[in-house]
């Protein structure tokens, strides 16, 4: 399985993506659903550039503690710079399948856009359950890539691009099975929510525009696609924007659960 490289270039890219209004709004909805309280101990699995860790740290305050965990050194460097003024928050090196924390260490945990990259979902969710106290809350958000709507004039080429793009994930359709995985790992699912990301126009500071070049670079050379195919796909989408018939939407599926 081919994966995206989470190197320094990728870290800076995701830092920009996570600053777009689309993802800022998603982060606000995630925080509202998790509802971190002052003094709580919270874990962010797959913390990336650290925006959510910083928001969690502000919510729990100095009486609480927040740990972000990510396997990418460059991502962690960006995150540590971001949270540097919050000593009750820290960024740790590690991955979702083997969490470096004792049993029952946290009151709440969150993971956004992470488990779709993880090979062993049962193991990772069992680890999540282990580090939560009894009654602790978990929020897991992932994407089903069947939910993407992206207006392109050349529909056949677009379908080929999207099919090749799915190779960047281990589980491109994980949300369909997440509730069952959570139950088997020792959780009771208490909430199921949809967070749509919608770009009705082509604008540079949006999730879809920011990710075009990332997708194009990834798919070139996969499933018979060439660099010229990828460039033509991007030109097609940008032309939709110029003609004011651009549209992009993608669904994030969010599950709340309690550790039993």
Domains of the chain: 8-144+169-197+251-259 (3.40.50.150)
pLDDT of residue 83: 94
Give the helix, strand, coil percentages of the chain, each rounded to 5: 45, 25, 30
DSSP letter for each residue of 110-166 = EEES-GGG-S-HHHHHHHHHHHEEEEEEEEEEEE-GGG-EE--S-HHHHHHHHHHHG
pLDDT of residue 68: 98
What does the pLDDT read at residue 135? 98
pLDDT by residue, tens only, the chain of 260 residues: 346 777 888 788 889 999 999 999 999 999 999 999 999 999 999 999 999 999 999 999 999 999 999 999 999 999 999 998 899 999 999 999 999 999 999 999 999 999 999 999 999 999 999 999 999 999 999 999 999 999 999 999 999 999 999 999 999 999 999 999 999 999 999 999 999 999 999 999 999 999 999 999 999 999 999 999 999 999 999 999 999 999 999 999 999 999 99
φ/ψ of residue 151, rounded to 5: -75, 120
Please tell me the number of Cα atoms within 13 Å of 233 on its side-chain side: 28
Give the pLDDT of residue 1: 39
Q: How far apart are CA 71 and CA 45, in angstroms?
A: 10
DSSP character string of 163-212: HHHGGG-S-TTGGGTHHHHHHHTTEEEEEEEEEEEEE-S--SSSHHHHHH
CA atoms within a 13 Å half-sphere pointing along the CA-CB vector of 47: 32
Alpha-carbon separation of residue 127 from 50, 64, 101, 168, 236 (angstroms): 21, 22, 9, 24, 44
CA distance 188 to 138: 10
Q: For the chain, what is the total number of helices (H) and then of strands (E)?
A: 9, 8
Q: In the 8-state DSSP scheme, what is residue 33?
A: H
**Best CA proximity match to 110, nearest among 175, 47, 25:** 47
Given the DSSP bridges, would you call strands 89-93 and 65-70 parallel, antiparallel or unpaired?
A: parallel
Nearest by Cα to 68 from 87, 85, 86, 52? 52
Give 65's strand partners.
41
44 touches 69 (CB < 8 A):
yes
pLDDT of residue 12: 85
CB of 212 closer than 8 Å to CB of 161: no
């Amino acid at each position: 399985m081919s994966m995206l490289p989470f190197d320094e270039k990728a870290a800076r890219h995701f830092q920009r993506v996570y600053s777009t209004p689309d993802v800022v709004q998603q982060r606000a909805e995630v925080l509202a659903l998790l509802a971190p309280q002052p003094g709580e101990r919270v874990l962010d699995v797959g913390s990336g550039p650290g925006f959510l860790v910083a928001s969690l740290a502000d919510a729990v305050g100095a009486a609480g503690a927040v740990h972000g965990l990510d396997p990418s050194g460059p991502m962690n460097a960006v995150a540590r710079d971001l949270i540097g003024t919050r000593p009750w928050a820290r960024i740790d090196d590690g991955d979702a399948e083997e969490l470096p924390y004792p049993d029952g260490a946290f009151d709440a945990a969150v993971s956004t856009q992470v488990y779709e990259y993880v090979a062993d979902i049962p193991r990772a969710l069992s680890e999540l359950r282990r580090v939560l106290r009894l009654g602790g809350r978990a929020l897991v958000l992932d994407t089903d890539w069947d939910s993407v709507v992206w207006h392109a004039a050349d529909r056949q080429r677009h379908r080929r691009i999207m099919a090749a793009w799915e190779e960047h994930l281990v589980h491109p359709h994980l949300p369909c099975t997440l509730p069952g995985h959570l139950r088997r790992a020792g959780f009771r699912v208490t909430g199921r929510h949809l967070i749509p990301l919608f770009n009705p126009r082509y604008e540079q500071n949006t999730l879809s525009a920011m990710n075009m070049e990332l997708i194009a670079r990834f798919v070139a050379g996969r499933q018979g696609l060439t660099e010229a195919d990828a460039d033509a796909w991007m030109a097609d989408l940008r032309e939709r924007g110029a003609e004011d018939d651009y549209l992009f939407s993608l669904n994030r599926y969010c599950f709340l659960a309690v550790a039993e």
